[in-house]
Chain A
């Protein structure tokens, strides 16, 4: 226990990276997901196909494989990314696919009458989507997005394999130094749990805030 307390700053630094990777990937994942969802629902055949293939590939391959392709694989083509950058890219692309599925479901859940009412007042299709459909879809998508993000938080442990010192790797480094396992593994488990719970709490608050109507 003392060992853990002595090394808390180091573990907190790991937690910081875990959180950073989660938040950054979430941010870009949201953008990618929204664009992909709209491409799938409203794009022409070309964009629809691209979006569909993207989602299919990401959902059909392990995130670890995606990560090593970005970090190690791209080196063959002269693209050498920093470990953190590779983590951001791989995880954003990964989560974007799942986010797009959540958004797609949510957009489809907004009744067609909403778009029709907007179009009837003279809005273009794009204006109707931006102003009327998306705001409603975002609220609908929060519960599934919440699940995606908490999953994401846990998945960041994968990036320990490319030597980003997030939570899991912090523990591994400490273990290598002190030759005891359980205290460190247990403490990071607790930290993951706290982070997930905090995330869920924040998302619930956002949902409440958006539920004024």
Chain B
């Protein structure tokens, strides 16, 4: 379960997230949408401590991270939170100096202290799950964007997270490669993974998400069911945003 309480984030004077409060129960799939610069990535990154929150608190599976925490407490909590969360980035961020299977094995060996052979078995299974078993020994640079992103998903899943965070996982992909990544994500959602997905894929958001968060100017402006949201957003901001997206 994810809980944000009065969560704020500022860079110097610039307040990027403004007093966000919400609860995401386990197994829920949440799509976060909104205009560029509205704070979607920042929000996501505050959930696993890649950004330091400057106000309020975040709680991930009862690991409570407060803005007022001392550095030592904060690092400890963030470390625990990251054991429970996986993250997938827009630019994949695969390790270029490691093969596909080594990318997936790395954290198993370093963080979970598994033996190489155990890690290898686990990694091979995950690669099979994302349909890349025959790419185990190639380097990421030899893969298409869609394949790279699937490896990145396998890498995140290796740590057996309870929550998966996705930051525009398909935005860097050629249109014909988007589908294969969304398919893997849909399967994850169907298996009951708790997911927070920042995305511009409105159709995917509508069909795969249980809930839509529409962000603008660092706030969650709308929080609604996909059907209701896409049929008729409540706010003018969201209506304008959807109209713009639908132009394309």
Contact = CB atoms under 8 A, between A and B. Distances in A.
A121 B81 CA distance: 10
A83 to B, nearest CB: 42
A213 to B, nearest CB: 4
Nearest to B85: A120
Given A116-B93, A136-B96, A213-B96, A121 B106 contact: yes
Contacts of B94: 117
B111 A135 contact: no
Interface string A112-131: 01101111111110010001
Of B94, B107, B156, B159, most buried by chain A (CB within 10 Å of CB) is: B107
Given A116-B89, A117-B95, A124-B79, A212 B139 contact: yes
Contacts, number: 67
B141 A213 contact: yes
B96 A122 contact: no
A179 to B, nearest CB: 57
Interface in B80-107: 82-83, 85-87, 89, 91, 93-97, 106-107
A114 B79 CA distance: 17
B228 interface: no
A121 B97 contact: no
B48 interface: yes
A48 interface: no
Contact of B93 (A114, A124, A135, A213): A114
Interface residues of A, number: 20
Contacts of B152: 117
A120 B96 contact: no
B74 to A, nearest CB: 13
A171 B179 CA distance: 72
B68 to A, nearest CB: 22
A207 B79 CA distance: 35
A162 B49 CA distance: 55
Contacts of B158: 121
A121 B141 CA distance: 21
A131 B107 CA distance: 10
A116 B97 contact: no
B110 interface: yes
A121 B93 contact: no
Contacts of B111: 121-123, 127
A213 B139 contact: yes
B91 to A, nearest CB: 6
Interface in B118-157: 139-141, 152, 155-156
B141 A119 contact: no
Contacts of B22: none
Among all A-B residue pairs, the 5 with the closest Cβ atoms: A121-B107, A117-B93, A120-B87, A213-B139, A113-B93
Interface of A: 111, 113-114, 116-124, 127, 131-132, 135-136, 139, 212-213
26 contacts: A111-B93, A113-B89, A113-B91, A113-B93, A114-B93, A114-B95, A116-B89, A117-B93, A117-B155, A119-B49, A119-B82, A120-B86, A120-B156, A121-B86, A121-B155, A121-B158, A122-B82, A122-B83, A122-B111, A122-B159, A123-B110, A131-B106, A132-B95, A135-B97, A136-B97, A213-B141
Given A119-B49, A121-B156, A139-B97, 5 more contacts: A113-B91, A117-B94, A122-B83, A122-B107, A136-B96
